[in-house]
Structure 1
Amino acid sequence: MARTILITGCSDEGLGAALATAFHQNGDRVIATARNPAKMSILKSQGIETVTLDVLSEESFKTAVEEVSRLTNNTLDMLINNAGVGYSTPLLEADMVQAEAIFKVNVFAPLRAVQAFMPLLRNSTKGAYVVNNTSIASVTPVPFQGAYGGSKAAIALMTDCLRLELQPFNIRVIELKTGNVNSKFFSNTNGFVGTTAKLSPESIYQPAAEPIEHFMGGSGFKSMPSDVWAQNVVKDLSASNPPSQIWRGAETTKVWMSTWLPHGTMDGFLKQMTGLSDLEKKLKDDGAKKTK
Structure 2
Amino acid sequence: MTATKRNVLITGCSDGGIGAALAVAFHKAGYHVYATARDPAKMTELKTQGIEILTLDTLSENSITECVKKVPALDILVNNAGKTFLMPIVDTSITEAKKVYDLNLWSHIAVTQAFMPRILEAKGTIVNQTSVGASVTLPFQAVYNSSKAAMSMISNTMRLELEPFGVKVVELRTGVVKTNLIKNMQTLTSTILPKDSIYDPARERVEKSLRQEQFENGGMPRQQWAEAVVQDLSKKNAPQVIWRGETVFLCWILSLLPFGWSDGLSKKLTGLSDVIKILQE
After TM superposition, is the score higher than 0.5? yes
SS in 2 for 1:198: coil
Contact 1:208/1:275 (<8 A) preserved: no
Contact 1:86/1:190 (<8 A) preserved: no
Match of 1:251 among 247, 263, 266: 247
Deviations along 1:69-128, one digit per CA (max 9) or x if unpaired, are: 2xxxxx20000000000111111111111101111100011111110001111221xx40
Match of 1:113 in 2: 111
Q: Which amino acid aligns with 1:200?
A: P
Match of 1:266 in 2: 262
Write out aligned runs for 1:29-68 (5 A): 29-68=32-71
Match of 1:206 in 2: 200
Kindly state the Cα deviation for residue 254 of structure 1 after the two structures are TM-superposed: 0.3
Q: Distance in 2 between matches of 1:225 and 1:205?
A: 34
Deviations along 1:42-86, one digit per CA (max 9) or x if unpaired, are: 1000000011000000010000001122xxxxx200000000001
Match of 2:152 in 1: 156
User: What is the aligned length?
Assistant: 276
Q: Distance in 2 between matches of 1:198 and 1:229?
A: 31
Contact 2:139/2:267 (<8 A) preserved: yes
Deviations along 1:27-49, one digit per CA (max 9) or x if unpaired, are: 11100000001001110000000
Match of 1:172 in 2: 168
Normalised to the residue count of structure 2, the TM-score between the two structures is 0.95
Match of 1:93 in 2: 91
Contact 1:87/1:190 (<8 A) preserved: no
Moved more, 88-97 or 201-210: 201-210
Q: Which amino acid aligns with 1:46?
A: Q
Normalised to the residue count of structure 1, the TM-score between the two structures is 0.91
Match of 1:72 in 2: none
Provide the aligned C-alpha RMSD in A: 1.3
Q: Which amino acid aligns with 1:189?
A: M
Q: Distance in 1 between matches of 2:130 and 2:252?
A: 14
Q: Distance in 2 between matches of 1:227 and 1:219?
A: 22
Contact 1:32/1:48 (<8 A) preserved: yes
Contact 2:17/2:180 (<8 A) preserved: yes
Q: Which amino acid aligns with 2:151?
A: I
Match of 1:220 in 2: 214
Q: Distance in 2 between matches of 1:149 and 1:57?
A: 23
- Counting aligned pairs with the same residue, the percent is 44
